[in-house]
A = this chain, B = another copy of it.
């Protein structure tokens, strides 16, 4: 049955499912161990102490194609980054596809190719997967889940509770790019400027950060949904510390700031997909900043704030005119389906 769209039968587990796997999914995600088609992939994890990181995320971004990426590389990079933030070396990734009946094969192929490229760039293998199909109108084109296993080579622990008074807060570049790229595309905003998603794998940058900072690096976290504000508020709560941000140090692209102003959005709450927050001791913050600046994904890195003390998990912003504003978590839904 030749067809150029996904049919319900492609999710049956029968002949069409096998054709989809053999003709499209496996060759496109090539170099991977999906070929065996057993119920589970068998891996040998090169870890001396048996310490692993394990994470999962589902991706429901709308639109599925956007400036700077698509749902496929987003799904790989997102899970690579979650592993990297725990200090782990991304090792193996699983891919669960939920396809809406009627999805064009051409779009699926483009998404799968982006996944292969993203996995290759991050140096991680896609080792197992699953594909389901639901009737038209019961999903929205494609949802992707990725889960990932990472290997922990070092002995120190990176967790939100690790922030200590005196630590500096660093970010590797401009904020809000991903969220505003999605919003602009979704709403059909006709912008003069090109705002692109920052979607990128951050594991290489993390390696450089840890090489420069070692166990003086206390927290790594990627500010995705909820943005920098929500992520820092989480860290303040986990560590019981007060944090202070300097508005004038926050790297924000002029175009992103402009669109945010028009729409009444605050870039501090807008999602990022290629950014990390690094909380590091003051002594090592210069070395870590230099390491960031030397990496392609850290050219615009900046020190944006500090941990001011043990306290009541307060996050404050010193504004451009010198005032102090208290920052809360994102309330309600600013931008649905941003990742």
A188 contacts B by Cβ under 8 Å: no
A251-B120 Cα distance, complex, nearest whole Å:
47
Contact A55 B128 (CB under 8 A): yes
Residues of B within 8 A of A234 (CB): 18, 37
Out of B60, B238, B332, which one reaches A16, CB within 8 Å?
Answer: B332
Whether A8 touches B38, Cβ cut-off 8 Å, given contacts A50-B50, A56-B96, is no
Residues of B within 8 A of A148 (CB): 40
Contact A130 B56 (CB under 8 A): yes
Most B Cβ at <10 Å: residue of A42, A128, A337: A42
The 0/1 profile, CB within 8 Å of B marked 1, for residues 38-49 of chain A is 111111111101
Contact B12 A55 (CB under 8 A): no
Contact A331 B44 (CB under 8 A): no
Chain A interface, >50% SS class: mixed
Contact A55 B94 (CB under 8 A): yes
Interface size in chain A (residues, C-beta < 8 A): 92
A134 contacts B by Cβ under 8 Å: yes
Residues of B within 8 A of A16 (CB): 331-333
The 0/1 profile, CB within 8 Å of B marked 1, for residues 122-152 of chain A is 0000011110111101111001010111101
Out of B45, B57, B134, B332, which one reaches A12, CB within 8 Å?
Answer: B332
Closest 8 CB pairs of A and B: A13-B225, A14-B330, A147-B147, A13-B226, A40-B55, A56-B94, A145-B145, A39-B82
A positions within 8 Å CB-CB of B: 7-9, 11-18, 36-47, 49-60, 62, 81-83, 85-86, 88, 92, 94-98, 127-130, 132-135, 137-140, 143, 145, 147-150, 152, 157-161, 221-222, 224-226, 230, 234, 238, 269, 271, 328-337
